[in-house]
Structure 1
């Protein structure tokens, strides 16, 4: 027997019961709102119901904020990691938008409030900010197009690895200290030892060589310190 899909109306009675338990008078389909709850002289509470997270649900919630600051969105409670991941992301989004968020467990009508409406005050992360600015400062040039996929991006770490690869390509197996001095990469020894990209091999204590994969990467990416080709210089004969 196939499981029937939830309907917006399946959410109504559980949400209504929750609000009535808080002394609200509750009615459905008032104007454009799915649920309106009134208690004394307080601003009304509006709840928009949907069978899942969607952009239109957030649009509706934002539109209802023209009526009242107390706006919630409500969806059925799902199971599994994909839903929990979506719930966490959308709870964060609701807080940023000043919306409240409820989920309804349809098998028993349990309503859980994950966020209440209110002004958003983002917490800044000094660690993330410092990491971002450090990468910006260490990155040579601007080798990536904004919006590109994360895989294969040119990072400051990859640029340092290419500098080490260039030295090994020119000198052959070399002491790590000399690679660091020649390339200007202070962390050359640790970088080659970690061998994150599989470009290097240790041929003796403190001496590293370049693997074929490293040579291919060097040929593909080129010299990270070379001046970028400009439209004026491209295709011209010195």
Structure 2
């Protein structure tokens, strides 16, 4: 899929908006001018750092700078596109995509200043997880297996149950894990078994964990 395949649809779209359009002027992929004001479009077969570097350089000569890539289908492609759109908006860049089967141009973002909306709920959850995590058991940059606060709590509950079956309230008081009953009921790791209402014991897997205590987990469940 060549970058040149994107040019004709983008040119036609800009001309419908009243621009005069020319390609490869001064190293710019697409230069459009209307009322003496330039607009720049950088074309690439896919998103890359090179594309973003070029587009950011063009901000020195034009206030309106777009990047343009082919429009791809599929969930993974859509997710990647959304992430790249957010990044471009932070950089003040616009984003276009072209559907090659019919040349349709879609505007996903226009150039200009952008301030992302703050997520107080996510910030609060991040701080909550930070406080719950005991010590600093992980290495920064770890991919995949990490120790989580949820895993730590589950291990403390399992260690208490290693002494025998117990009620959820008793486990919570003894371990200092306020959501002990929910951890045992959810049984995310397969460590716990309900023997009667409100009372839990360790499974065979749970008993093994209390002996080995590997202390690693792929990802914490939602709590």
1:77-156 equivalent positions in 2, closer than 5 A: 77-151=71-145, 153-156=146-149
Q: Select which of 27, 34, 58 maps to 1:39.
A: 34
Distance in 2, matches of 1:191 and 1:82, equals 32
Distance in 2, matches of 1:87 and 1:125, equals 21
Deviates more, 1:89-98 or 1:28-37: 89-98
Distance in 2, matches of 1:78 and 1:62, equals 24
Distance in 2, matches of 1:32 and 1:20, equals 20
Q: Does 1:8 align with 2:3?
A: yes
Q: Does 1:73 align with 2:67?
A: yes
Distance in 1, matches of 2:54 and 2:156, equals 53
1:185 aligns to what?
177
Distance in 2, matches of 1:217 and 1:65, equals 57
| Largest Rg, 1 or 2 | 1
Distance in 2, matches of 1:146 and 1:155, equals 13
Distance in 1, matches of 2:82 and 2:207, equals 43
Instruction: Report runs of 4+ in structure 1 exceeding 6 Å deviation.
Output: none
What's the offset of the Cα at 1:177? 2.3
Q: Does 1:205 align with 2:197?
A: yes
What's the offset of the Cα at 1:69? 2.1
1:157 aligns to what?
150
2:221 aligns to what?
none
What's the offset of the Cα at 1:150? 4.0
Q: Select which of 6, 18, 23 maps to 1:23.
A: 18
Segments of structure 1 that go 5 or more residues without pairing to the other structure are 1-5, 224-238
1:220–1:69 CA distance, 2 compared to 1 (3 A): farther
Number of residue equivalences: 215
Q: Return the structure number with greater relative CO, CA threshold 8 A, min gap 6.
A: 2
1:120–1:220 CA distance, 2 compared to 1 (3 A): farther
2:219 aligns to what?
none
Distance in 2, matches of 1:78 and 1:179, equals 52
Taking structure 2 as the reference length, the TM-score comes to 0.90
Distance in 2, matches of 1:218 and 1:31, equals 68
Distance in 1, matches of 2:122 and 2:191, equals 29
